[in-house]
A and B are shown apart, each in its own frame.
Chain A
Amino acid sequence: MMLRRRGALGGARQGRKALAVPLCALAVILGPTGAAHAGTGGLTPVDQKSPNVERSTDIYYLILGFSGLIMLLVTVPLLIFIVRYRGRGRSREVEGAQIRGNTRLELAWTALPVLILAVIAGFVFYKVPGITDLEAEASGDSRLEIKVDGRQFYWQYRYPNDVIAIDTLRVPLGQVVELEIGAPESDVNHSFWIPALGGKFDAIPGETTRTSFRADEVGTYEGQCAEFCGVQHAAMLQAVEVMPRGEFETWLANEAGAQRRGASELGERTYQGACAKCHGMAGEGLIGPPLAGNSLLQDRDALEMIVRNGQGAMPAVGEGWEDRQMDALFRHLRRNVAGGSGAEDGS
């Protein structure tokens, strides 16, 4: 009849078991956290290299603080009750205190979260302007506007002077950089994100999103396309290279000339960003067929057709490219990919 009769022994075991719950949980949760060293890792977000990230990280820490508080408010009483009111082998017939509720308590644990959330929401609204409208370092400092296109499976950037860059974006230190993010109409959704420099914004065909950052340390910061975009989504990596201002200006001016003359690395970069992820770094073939030794590479018109319009499982990677980019790619393909090794024939 009785479901179970627990002796004193069983009760003690039960008690220890009850304690094991929280201890285990704590160990499991703190274990990996503790293993993380200073700097990033653990519950520390990425290094912040731009004021907007610093500000959104402030929001993070505020919420983290309140979350810790609420976690304690829930788990500490729960643990105490679990230990204090454990059955200790008492029979199921023994009822606990028949308490049905308490209006004041209900009001308290309604009001407290409301208050906390109001503080959090207020803090977010207070921080938002500093995140979305980055102020210049010195008043009157100009902003650098860059157009970002997410494409299967590379990022194409265009500077105000029409310089084109692929996957790696070079920017000046300390200047506000505004990104206008989109995708060609025939492409799919992507999301541009360099964690150290700011939140992510989607690159959606037919839409434009905007964001800005102001890098405050020279270095290269990596990121990854954050919206699933197909078979090579994981290979869609991007980086921002922050350079001292003078160095950046010089590079940008030189690059503009080089790209006009067809003497830049644009062809190689384009191949690495837009083709190699499917055809291999040396054209050895991967998802797509090998290009090395492929006679199509000698046929400019046929190649252009394929690159601009896609074919079968190959997306229209080159749709909308200007001729100079196509020229640069074609030149690179013929020199470095077509004949396998060293089929140098000029152009």
Chain B
Amino acid sequence: MAVRVERPTTVVPWNRGRVSSWLTTVDHKRIGILYIVTSLVFFLAGGVLSILMRTQLATPDADVFSRDSYNQLFTMHGTTMIFLVVVPILAGFGNFLVPLMIGARDVAFPRLNALSYWLFLFGGIVLYSSWFAGGGAPQSGWTSYPPLSVYTQGNGQDLWILSLHILTLASLAGAINFIVTIHNMRTRGMTWMRIPLFVWTIEVYSILLVLVLPALSAGLTLLLLDRQAGTHFFIPSEGGNAVLYQHVFWFFGHPEVYIMILPAMGIISEVIPVFARKPIFGYKAIAISTAVIGFYSLLVWGHHMFTVGMPGYLLGFFMVSSMIIAVPTGIKIFNWVATTWRGNLIFDTAMLFALGFIVVFTIGGLSGIFLAAYPFDWQVHDTYFVVAHLHYVLFGGSMFGIFAGLYYWWPKMFGRILNERLGKVHFWLTFAGFNMAFFPQHMLGLDGMARRIYNYRDVGQWAEYNLVSTIGSYIMGLGILAFVVNVVITRKRGRRAGNDPWLADTLEWYTTSPPQPHNFDQVPYVTSARPLRDLRRRLQEARG
């Protein structure tokens, strides 16, 4: 007979209540869910933008959008996906999970936490309001290099800057909260080598945010001053330096990539062992590699700038430091693969996304090595090869991880299990569509197709590859639609989850689904990285 750790569900579900109770909440679980739901809405918006772009690119000379509109599309798509989807949704997971995973009552500063969420929402609204600004939405790319971004007319660009300023504050508040919470509020017995690997990644994610967000804020401030206050930090004709912005931006921008991938890796490190019915292989190696990746991510920003004319020793330095990052990343991948060895593998949707993550993320990691080798980067920089690479890392990596996390923790968040059949439809459509959409883009880049162009020459097989890519993006869209339907259906008719539907390892599964407002009545003393399994075994032994 199954031995389960169940607590009676007599408490008032914490996630019920009037709208006003959501507006005023300081409960980390509700804030986490607000984050996740808001990010998912932005994800749909950003997804629609990408489908529109792919529609324009389906044929070489399509006339679906004007040049300006297309430039707005890719600018808003990139900005949305990075600043309004991946980073905040990971903050949402962190919010919901970190206190539960470390056996705490809430985060260290609940009100700061609420402020952080509302700033995030506000920043998002400011960005999207730019569609209505004079001159329309911003149109100089999510990187907004000056001088172009200084000369761009209309207020879309200013709203972009303002929005990112607000989002920066939101992330900073959230990051400080995570760090203080993780350092001070772990339950008894939970040493650093016993905290869940997801919490490890949130720790490094937060430290990186605190270190690099000020650089972004500084760069944005200078940009805004150049645009609106007549300064010339980035205007060469007035003695400014246009490359300076690129340094500042990528000093933030590259760690940002790891900010977006590390927590997704953390999710994978939680999901794979549970669905392999095994402990994670090499806990310490994975934890330490997380910290190492975090450290090195601060030293590689120059690989985004190999073409600006850097001296040879810098080119060499940034190549080697970028390649070094591949080593701890490889360690993680091999450990995940090893975790499936001699397991009892159960292919629920969460696990499918996690396994899919390993495959596509490995491709993304490997294409990164091509880009690190600077003489070859000179060929593929700013082409579709880079577009393919970053989508393999950010969609194949971060988003696959996020979907794995959604299927895995949905029962804990909402008390109901997402439909498995639809989940599998979601996974397979997404996986197939994703590879169809993005793998051919490697070929396009190798064959010389530049990025950020609304039409292209009909040479080689560009037209075919682009068409395949567009069809792939539609298939991905269908996959996402399956997810939306799944969410809607599950809300009313989903199977109810007990406390611990997956027989998992970590403390969040000890409490009710959804958890009671105060999280735990009491927290068991933690003696390993898998407290819940320890508890199950003790109960089993007690029963004989």
Contact = CB atoms under 8 A, between A and B. Distances in A.
Interface centre among A17, A31, A208, A228 (most CB of B within 10 A): A228
A78 B284 contact: no
B214 interface: no
Interface string A211-244: 0000000000011111111111110010000000
A189 B344 contact: no
A59 B501 CA distance: 50
A143 interface: no
A56 B376 contact: yes
A71 B359 CA distance: 8
Interface in B337-390: 337-338, 340-347, 352, 355-356, 358-359, 362-363, 366-367, 369-370, 373-379, 381-383
Interface stretch (B15-23, B122-130, B202-210, B456-464): B456-464
Interface centre among A55, A113, A198 (most CB of B within 10 A): A113
Interface size of B as a range: 35 or more
A87 B342 contact: no
B326 interface: yes
A43 B308 contact: no
Nearest to B330: A113
A200 B281 contact: no
A120 interface: yes
Given A87-B347, A206-B241, A99 B341 contact: yes
A259 interface: no
B237 A186 contact: yes
B230 to A, nearest CB: 16
A32 B323 CA distance: 29
Contacts of A202: 307-309
Contacts of B324: 117
B366 A70 contact: yes
A101 B331 CA distance: 12
B370 A113 contact: no
User: Could you tell me the dominant secondary structure of chain B's interface residues?
Assistant: helix
A198 to B, nearest CB: 7
A41 interface: yes
Interface in A80-113: 81-82, 85-87, 90-102, 105-106, 109-110, 113
A114 to B, nearest CB: 6
Contact of B344 (A57, A96, A313): A96
Contacts of B312: 128, 132
Interface in A32-72: 32-33, 35-36, 40-46, 53, 55-57, 59-60, 63-64, 66-67, 70-71
Contacts of B452: 228, 233
B193 to A, nearest CB: 12
B29 interface: no
B438 to A, nearest CB: 10
Interface residues of A, number: 109
A120 B369 contact: yes
A209 interface: yes
B283 interface: yes
A86 B277 CA distance: 11
B513 interface: no
B237 A234 contact: no
A2 to B, nearest CB: 6
A31 B68 CA distance: 34
B147 A198 contact: no
A3 interface: yes
A42 B462 CA distance: 11
A186 B150 CA distance: 11
B320 A121 contact: yes
A124 B374 CA distance: 8
Interface stretch (A20-28, A263-271, A301-309, A333-341): A20-28
A101 B283 contact: yes
Interface string A301-329: 00000000000010000000000000000
A81 B334 CA distance: 13
Contacts of B367: 67
A86 to B, nearest CB: 5
17 contacts: A1-B2, A18-B347, A28-B432, A32-B440, A55-B375, A56-B375, A63-B370, A74-B358, A75-B359, A95-B344, A96-B277, A96-B342, A99-B278, A201-B309, A210-B309, A228-B140, A234-B453
Given A74-B362, A185-B236, 4 more contacts: A71-B366, A95-B277, A99-B342, A105-B338
Interface of B: 1-2, 4, 67-68, 71, 140-141, 145, 147-148, 151-153, 236-237, 240-243, 276-279, 281-285, 307-309, 312, 316, 319-320, 323-324, 326-327, 330-331, 333-335, 337-338, 340-347, 352, 355-356, 358-359, 362-363, 366-367, 369-370, 373-379, 381-383, 424, 428, 431-432, 435-436, 439-440, 442-443, 446-448, 450-457, 459-461, 464-465, 468, 501-503
